Chains A and B, each alone.
Chain A
Protein backbone atom coordinates (compact mmCIF):
# COMPACT_ATOMS: atom_id res chain seq x y z
CA UNK A 1 0.00 0.00 0.00
CA UNK A 2 2.80 2.36 0.97
CA UNK A 3 4.44 1.47 -2.29
CA UNK A 4 1.48 2.85 -4.24
CA UNK A 5 1.48 5.99 -2.15
CA UNK A 6 5.11 6.61 -3.06
CA UNK A 7 4.29 5.83 -6.66
CA UNK A 8 1.57 8.47 -6.85
CA UNK A 9 3.63 10.98 -4.92
CA UNK A 10 6.47 10.55 -7.40
CA UNK A 11 4.07 10.75 -10.35
CA UNK A 12 2.54 13.93 -8.92
CA UNK A 13 5.97 15.43 -8.44
CA UNK A 14 6.82 14.56 -12.04
CA UNK A 15 3.55 16.03 -13.26
CA UNK A 16 4.25 19.23 -11.38
CA UNK A 17 7.75 19.45 -12.78
CA UNK A 18 6.47 18.79 -16.28
CA UNK A 19 3.78 21.44 -16.02
CA UNK A 20 6.17 23.97 -14.54
CA UNK A 21 8.63 23.40 -17.34
CA UNK A 22 5.97 23.46 -20.04
CA UNK A 23 4.04 26.45 -18.78
CA UNK A 24 6.71 28.61 -17.18
CA UNK A 25 10.22 27.67 -18.20
CA UNK A 26 9.53 26.85 -21.83
CA UNK A 27 5.94 27.59 -22.73
CA UNK A 28 4.56 27.07 -26.18
CA UNK A 29 5.57 29.99 -28.37
CA UNK A 30 2.88 31.30 -30.63
CA UNK A 31 3.26 32.89 -33.98
CA UNK A 32 0.80 33.64 -36.75
CA UNK A 33 -1.65 34.80 -34.14
CA UNK A 34 -4.82 36.69 -34.95
CA UNK A 35 -5.71 40.18 -33.75
CA UNK A 36 -8.48 38.95 -31.48
CA UNK A 37 -5.80 37.55 -29.17
CA UNK A 38 -3.97 40.86 -28.84
CA UNK A 39 -3.36 42.42 -25.45
CA UNK A 40 -6.14 44.88 -24.65
CA UNK A 41 -3.71 47.80 -24.92
CA UNK A 42 -3.03 46.98 -28.53
CA UNK A 43 -6.66 46.32 -29.33
CA UNK A 44 -7.67 49.70 -27.99
CA UNK A 45 -4.89 51.41 -29.84
CA UNK A 46 -6.07 49.70 -33.01
CA UNK A 47 -9.53 51.06 -32.29
CA UNK A 48 -7.99 54.48 -31.86
CA UNK A 49 -6.30 54.20 -35.25
CA UNK A 50 -9.65 53.36 -36.76
CA UNK A 51 -11.23 56.27 -34.92
CA UNK A 52 -8.55 58.64 -36.18
CA UNK A 53 -9.14 57.57 -39.76
CA UNK A 54 -12.91 57.74 -39.25
CA UNK A 55 -12.63 61.28 -37.93
CA UNK A 56 -11.19 62.29 -41.26
CA UNK A 57 -13.01 60.04 -43.71
CA UNK A 58 -16.36 59.84 -41.98
CA UNK A 59 -16.72 56.40 -43.53
CA UNK A 60 -18.33 54.27 -40.88
CA UNK A 61 -18.56 51.20 -43.09
CA UNK A 62 -14.83 51.32 -43.66
CA UNK A 63 -14.32 51.79 -39.92
CA UNK A 64 -16.53 48.80 -39.22
CA UNK A 65 -14.62 46.72 -41.74
CA UNK A 66 -11.38 47.74 -40.11
CA UNK A 67 -12.66 46.85 -36.65
CA UNK A 68 -13.78 43.45 -37.87
CA UNK A 69 -10.14 42.47 -37.77
CA UNK A 70 -10.39 42.38 -33.99
CA UNK A 71 -12.86 39.55 -34.28
CA UNK A 72 -15.66 41.02 -32.21
CA UNK A 73 -19.18 40.18 -33.32
CA UNK A 74 -20.37 43.54 -32.09
CA UNK A 75 -17.88 46.30 -32.93
CA UNK A 76 -19.95 48.94 -31.14
CA UNK A 77 -19.80 46.94 -27.94
CA UNK A 78 -16.10 46.29 -28.43
CA UNK A 79 -15.45 49.99 -28.85
CA UNK A 80 -17.43 50.76 -25.70
CA UNK A 81 -15.25 48.30 -23.81
CA UNK A 82 -12.26 49.91 -25.43
CA UNK A 83 -13.38 53.32 -24.23
CA UNK A 84 -13.74 52.05 -20.67
CA UNK A 85 -10.26 50.63 -20.87
CA UNK A 86 -8.91 53.84 -22.38
CA UNK A 87 -10.45 55.85 -19.57
CA UNK A 88 -9.00 53.51 -16.97
CA UNK A 89 -5.48 53.91 -18.30
CA UNK A 90 -5.67 57.63 -18.88
CA UNK A 91 -5.94 58.20 -22.60
CA UNK A 92 -5.84 61.82 -23.66
CA UNK A 93 -9.18 63.57 -23.84
CA UNK A 94 -8.94 64.13 -27.56
CA UNK A 95 -8.31 60.44 -28.12
CA UNK A 96 -11.23 59.52 -25.91
CA UNK A 97 -13.39 61.89 -27.90
CA UNK A 98 -12.35 60.18 -31.13
CA UNK A 99 -13.21 56.80 -29.68
CA UNK A 100 -16.55 58.06 -28.43
CA UNK A 101 -17.40 59.50 -31.84
CA UNK A 102 -16.60 56.18 -33.42
CA UNK A 103 -18.61 54.28 -30.81
CA UNK A 104 -21.62 56.51 -31.30
CA UNK A 105 -21.43 56.23 -35.07
CA UNK A 106 -21.25 52.45 -34.81
CA UNK A 107 -24.31 52.38 -32.60
CA UNK A 108 -26.21 54.32 -35.23
CA UNK A 109 -25.40 52.05 -38.12
CA UNK A 110 -25.69 48.69 -36.46
CA UNK A 111 -29.45 48.25 -36.99
CA UNK A 112 -29.06 49.01 -40.67
CA UNK A 113 -26.43 46.39 -41.11
CA UNK A 114 -28.07 43.58 -39.21
CA UNK A 115 -28.99 40.81 -41.62
CA UNK A 116 -32.66 40.31 -41.97
CA UNK A 117 -34.04 37.35 -40.12
CA UNK A 118 -35.10 34.62 -42.45
Chain B
Protein backbone atom coordinates (compact mmCIF):
# COMPACT_ATOMS: atom_id res chain seq x y z
CA UNK B 1 0.00 0.00 0.00
CA UNK B 2 1.42 3.33 -1.02
CA UNK B 3 2.39 5.78 1.68
CA UNK B 4 0.86 9.25 1.21
CA UNK B 5 3.40 11.74 -0.06
CA UNK B 6 4.53 13.90 2.82
CA UNK B 7 4.94 17.46 1.58
CA UNK B 8 7.05 19.93 3.51
CA UNK B 9 5.05 22.49 5.50
CA UNK B 10 5.59 25.25 3.02
CA UNK B 11 3.13 27.56 4.71
CA UNK B 12 5.13 27.40 7.93
CA UNK B 13 8.42 27.94 6.16
CA UNK B 14 6.89 30.88 4.33
CA UNK B 15 5.60 32.32 7.61
CA UNK B 16 9.01 31.88 9.21
CA UNK B 17 10.74 33.68 6.37
CA UNK B 18 8.19 36.49 6.44
CA UNK B 19 8.70 36.79 10.18
CA UNK B 20 12.46 36.93 9.88
CA UNK B 21 12.28 39.57 7.16
CA UNK B 22 9.87 41.66 9.21
CA UNK B 23 12.08 41.23 12.25
CA UNK B 24 15.19 42.38 10.43
CA UNK B 25 13.40 45.31 8.88
CA UNK B 26 12.16 46.31 12.32
CA UNK B 27 15.56 45.96 13.95
CA UNK B 28 17.58 47.67 11.27
CA UNK B 29 15.24 50.26 9.77
CA UNK B 30 11.98 50.81 11.59
CA UNK B 31 13.09 50.51 15.20
CA UNK B 32 16.88 50.42 15.21
CA UNK B 33 18.84 50.50 18.42
CA UNK B 34 18.60 54.05 19.64
CA UNK B 35 21.61 56.25 19.33
CA UNK B 36 22.11 56.84 23.00
CA UNK B 37 25.10 56.19 25.19
CA UNK B 38 27.49 56.51 22.32
CA UNK B 39 31.25 56.76 22.57
CA UNK B 40 33.27 59.85 21.65
CA UNK B 41 35.10 57.87 18.98
CA UNK B 42 31.88 57.54 16.97
CA UNK B 43 31.29 61.28 16.78
CA UNK B 44 31.32 63.17 13.53
CA UNK B 45 34.71 64.64 12.73
CA UNK B 46 33.72 68.25 13.41
CA UNK B 47 32.41 67.26 16.83
CA UNK B 48 35.66 65.43 17.46
CA UNK B 49 37.49 68.63 16.61
CA UNK B 50 35.42 70.50 19.19
CA UNK B 51 36.06 67.74 21.70
CA UNK B 52 39.82 68.09 21.12
CA UNK B 53 39.59 71.82 21.62
CA UNK B 54 37.82 71.24 24.92
CA UNK B 55 40.51 68.76 25.97
CA UNK B 56 43.27 71.17 25.00
CA UNK B 57 41.62 74.12 26.73
CA UNK B 58 41.21 72.09 29.89
CA UNK B 59 44.83 71.01 29.67
CA UNK B 60 45.93 74.59 29.22
CA UNK B 61 43.99 75.45 32.33
CA UNK B 62 45.03 72.63 34.63
CA UNK B 63 48.28 71.32 33.13
CA UNK B 64 47.16 67.75 33.81
CA UNK B 65 48.69 65.83 30.95
CA UNK B 66 47.61 62.42 32.24
CA UNK B 67 44.04 63.54 32.23
CA UNK B 68 44.37 65.05 28.76
CA UNK B 69 45.88 61.84 27.45
CA UNK B 70 43.06 59.80 28.92
CA UNK B 71 40.54 62.05 27.28
CA UNK B 72 42.32 61.99 23.94
CA UNK B 73 42.43 58.22 24.00
CA UNK B 74 38.64 58.22 23.92
CA UNK B 75 38.73 59.64 20.42
CA UNK B 76 40.86 56.72 19.29
CA UNK B 77 42.99 58.81 16.97
CA UNK B 78 45.86 56.82 15.59
CA UNK B 79 48.34 59.54 16.43
CA UNK B 80 46.76 62.13 18.73
CA UNK B 81 49.79 64.36 18.65
CA UNK B 82 49.73 64.68 14.87
CA UNK B 83 45.98 65.14 14.80
CA UNK B 84 46.20 67.95 17.35
CA UNK B 85 49.02 69.63 15.51
CA UNK B 86 47.25 69.33 12.20
CA UNK B 87 44.01 70.65 13.63
CA UNK B 88 45.85 73.63 15.08
CA UNK B 89 47.43 74.42 11.73
CA UNK B 90 44.14 74.12 9.88
CA UNK B 91 42.50 76.34 12.48
CA UNK B 92 45.15 79.00 12.08
CA UNK B 93 45.05 78.81 8.30
CA UNK B 94 41.28 79.13 8.22
CA UNK B 95 41.20 82.12 10.53
CA UNK B 96 39.85 80.20 13.49
CA UNK B 97 40.39 81.05 17.11
CA UNK B 98 44.03 81.72 17.84
CA UNK B 99 43.57 80.84 21.48
CA UNK B 100 42.14 77.47 20.61
CA UNK B 101 44.88 76.83 18.06
CA UNK B 102 47.42 77.74 20.67
CA UNK B 103 45.86 75.37 23.19
CA UNK B 104 45.92 72.56 20.64
CA UNK B 105 49.54 73.30 19.82
CA UNK B 106 50.52 73.33 23.47
CA UNK B 107 48.91 69.98 24.07
CA UNK B 108 50.57 68.53 20.99
CA UNK B 109 53.88 69.84 22.22
CA UNK B 110 53.34 68.39 25.67
CA UNK B 111 52.49 65.01 24.16
CA UNK B 112 55.61 65.08 22.03
CA UNK B 113 57.69 65.24 25.17
CA UNK B 114 56.23 62.16 26.78
CA UNK B 115 55.74 59.94 23.74
CA UNK B 116 58.69 57.66 23.43
CA UNK B 117 60.36 57.46 20.04
CA UNK B 118 58.50 54.99 17.87
CA UNK B 119 55.56 54.95 20.16
CA UNK B 120 52.57 56.36 18.42
CA UNK B 121 50.40 56.51 21.47
CA UNK B 122 50.35 58.10 24.84
CA UNK B 123 52.89 56.95 27.31
CA UNK B 124 50.45 56.62 30.10
CA UNK B 125 46.80 57.04 30.69
CA UNK B 126 43.78 54.99 31.39
CA UNK B 127 42.17 52.92 28.76
CA UNK B 128 38.59 53.03 27.76
CA UNK B 129 36.66 53.36 30.99
CA UNK B 130 33.98 51.06 29.76
CA UNK B 131 36.60 48.39 29.43
CA UNK B 132 37.59 48.52 33.00
CA UNK B 133 38.11 52.08 33.93
CA UNK B 134 41.06 54.03 35.03
CA UNK B 135 44.37 52.33 35.15
CA UNK B 136 45.62 54.63 37.81
CA UNK B 137 45.15 52.94 41.16
CA UNK B 138 45.66 56.24 42.86
CA UNK B 139 42.50 57.65 41.44
CA UNK B 140 40.04 58.39 44.13
CA UNK B 141 37.17 59.54 42.09
CA UNK B 142 36.17 57.04 39.52
CA UNK B 143 33.45 54.52 39.53
CA UNK B 144 34.03 51.43 37.45
CA UNK B 145 32.11 52.97 34.61
CA UNK B 146 33.04 56.57 34.70
CA UNK B 147 35.05 57.99 31.96
CA UNK B 148 38.12 59.64 32.29
CA UNK B 149 39.71 60.75 34.71
CA UNK B 150 40.18 62.65 37.80
CA UNK B 151 43.65 61.49 38.35
CA UNK B 152 45.31 64.85 38.74
CA UNK B 153 48.35 63.09 37.40
CA UNK B 154 51.33 65.33 37.77
CA UNK B 155 52.90 66.22 34.50
CA UNK B 156 56.11 64.29 34.06
CA UNK B 157 57.83 67.17 32.36
CA UNK B 158 55.70 70.22 32.16
CA UNK B 159 55.99 71.81 28.79
CA UNK B 160 57.42 75.25 29.18
CA UNK B 161 55.05 77.92 28.05
CA UNK B 162 55.64 81.51 27.36
CA UNK B 163 54.64 83.29 30.47
CA UNK B 164 55.97 86.17 32.42
CA UNK B 165 59.65 86.69 32.27
CA UNK B 166 62.23 88.58 30.36
CA UNK B 167 61.32 89.21 26.74
CA UNK B 168 62.81 86.95 24.14
CA UNK B 169 65.79 88.34 22.32
CA UNK B 170 67.24 87.41 19.00
CA UNK B 171 70.22 85.17 19.47
CA UNK B 172 70.83 84.41 15.84
CA UNK B 173 69.35 85.13 12.48
CA UNK B 174 70.93 83.82 9.40
CA UNK B 175 70.09 83.33 5.76
CA UNK B 176 70.31 79.76 4.56
CA UNK B 177 70.17 78.14 1.16
CA UNK B 178 68.51 74.77 1.68
CA UNK B 179 67.10 73.03 -1.39
CA UNK B 180 65.39 70.50 0.88
CA UNK B 181 63.02 73.09 2.28
CA UNK B 182 59.60 73.21 0.63
CA UNK B 183 60.15 76.85 -0.31
CA UNK B 184 61.56 80.08 1.03
CA UNK B 185 60.71 80.12 4.71
CA UNK B 186 61.25 82.21 7.77
CA UNK B 187 62.00 79.55 10.35
CA UNK B 188 61.58 80.59 13.95
CA UNK B 189 62.96 78.70 16.91
CA UNK B 190 62.04 79.90 20.39
CA UNK B 191 63.97 78.71 23.44
CA UNK B 192 63.60 79.51 27.09
CA UNK B 193 66.41 80.41 29.46
CA UNK B 194 67.30 76.73 29.86
CA UNK B 195 67.32 76.38 26.07
CA UNK B 196 64.21 74.28 26.01
CA UNK B 197 61.88 74.90 23.08
CA UNK B 198 58.84 76.94 24.00
CA UNK B 199 55.51 76.25 22.33
CA UNK B 200 52.65 78.68 22.18
CA UNK B 201 54.68 81.82 21.57
CA UNK B 202 52.88 84.21 19.26
CA UNK B 203 54.86 85.31 16.23
CA UNK B 204 53.98 88.37 14.16
CA UNK B 205 55.09 88.80 10.57
CA UNK B 206 54.49 92.09 8.76
CA UNK B 207 54.98 93.08 5.13
CA UNK B 208 53.60 95.75 2.84
CA UNK B 209 51.02 96.87 5.37
CA UNK B 210 49.84 93.31 5.98
CA UNK B 211 50.27 91.13 9.00
CA UNK B 212 50.06 87.47 9.93
CA UNK B 213 50.17 85.90 13.35
CA UNK B 214 50.88 82.34 14.31
CA UNK B 215 52.28 80.31 17.18
CA UNK B 216 55.25 78.10 17.83
CA UNK B 217 54.52 74.45 18.38
CA UNK B 218 51.94 73.97 15.67
CA UNK B 219 54.40 72.01 13.55
CA UNK B 220 55.22 69.59 16.24
CA UNK B 221 56.95 67.26 13.83
CA UNK B 222 59.74 69.83 13.64
CA UNK B 223 59.75 70.85 17.26
CA UNK B 224 57.60 72.34 19.98
CA UNK B 225 59.35 75.69 19.80
CA UNK B 226 59.26 75.93 16.04
CA UNK B 227 57.16 77.93 13.63
CA UNK B 228 57.62 78.99 10.04
CA UNK B 229 56.25 81.35 7.47
CA UNK B 230 56.38 81.12 3.67
CA UNK B 231 57.98 84.08 1.95
CA UNK B 232 57.32 85.44 -1.49
CA UNK B 233 60.25 86.62 -3.61
CA UNK B 234 60.45 90.37 -3.91
CA UNK B 235 58.75 91.07 -0.60
CA UNK B 236 60.51 92.32 2.50
CA UNK B 237 59.26 91.08 5.84
CA UNK B 238 59.77 91.96 9.46
CA UNK B 239 59.21 89.47 12.24
CA UNK B 240 58.77 89.84 15.95
CA UNK B 241 57.52 87.91 18.92
CA UNK B 242 54.65 89.29 20.93
CA UNK B 243 56.82 88.52 23.94
CA UNK B 244 59.98 89.72 22.26
CA UNK B 245 61.81 92.96 22.59
CA UNK B 246 62.87 93.75 19.04
CA UNK B 247 61.69 92.95 15.54
CA UNK B 248 63.89 91.40 12.91
CA UNK B 249 63.60 93.45 9.77
CA UNK B 250 64.77 93.22 6.19
CA UNK B 251 63.88 89.57 5.73
CA UNK B 252 63.70 88.82 2.04
CA UNK B 253 64.39 85.82 -0.14
CA UNK B 254 66.46 85.65 -3.25
CA UNK B 255 67.72 83.02 -5.63
CA UNK B 256 70.72 81.33 -4.08
CA UNK B 257 71.22 78.13 -6.04
CA UNK B 258 69.95 76.09 -8.94
CA UNK B 259 69.12 72.41 -8.44
CA UNK B 260 68.03 70.25 -11.37
CA UNK B 261 67.46 73.37 -13.38
CA UNK B 262 65.11 74.91 -10.81
CA UNK B 263 66.05 77.95 -8.77
CA UNK B 264 66.38 77.58 -5.02
CA UNK B 265 65.31 80.55 -2.91
CA UNK B 266 66.95 81.38 0.35
CA UNK B 267 65.30 81.03 3.76
CA UNK B 268 65.92 82.60 7.15
CA UNK B 269 66.56 80.91 10.44
CA UNK B 270 65.88 83.02 13.50
CA UNK B 271 66.53 81.85 17.04
CA UNK B 272 64.91 83.67 19.94
CA UNK B 273 66.07 83.00 23.46
CA UNK B 274 64.79 84.15 26.80
CA UNK B 275 67.73 85.50 28.76
Q: Interface on A for B, CB 8 Å cutoff?
A: 3, 6-23, 27-28, 30-35, 37-42, 44-46, 48-50, 52-53, 55-57, 66, 69, 89-92, 94-95
Contacts and interface: CB of A to CB of B under 8 A. Distances in A.
Interface stretch (B39-47, B111-119, B171-179, B259-267): B39-47
B126 to A, nearest CB: 12
Interface residues of B, number: 56
Interface of B: 9, 11-28, 32-33, 35-40, 42-45, 47, 50-51, 54-55, 57-58, 60-62, 71, 74, 129-130, 140-143, 145-150, 152
Contact of A16 (B23, B38, B57, B147): B23
- Which interface residue of A18, A40, A50, A66 has the most chain B CB atoms within 10 A? A18
Contacts of A28: 27-28, 32-33
Contacts of A23: 27, 33
Contacts, number: 181
A14 B51 CA distance: 43
Contacts of B14: 7
A32 B45 CA distance: 7
Where chain A touches its partner, the secondary structure class is helix
Contacts of B147: 39, 41-42, 44-45
Nearest to B19: A14
13 contacts: A9-B12, A11-B15, A13-B19, A14-B22, A14-B23, A19-B26, A22-B32, A30-B38, A32-B43, A37-B37, A49-B58, A53-B58, A92-B140
Given A27-B33, A53-B61, A14 B16 contact: yes
Given A6-B9, A33-B38, A42-B74, A14 B142 contact: no
Contact of A22 (B9, B26, B51): B26
Nearest to B54: A49
A37 to B, nearest CB: 5
A10 B143 contact: no
Contacts of B26: 15, 18-19, 22
A27 B32 contact: yes
A9 B109 CA distance: 64
A42 B39 contact: yes
Given A10-B13, A52-B61, A90 B142 contact: yes
B23 A33 contact: no
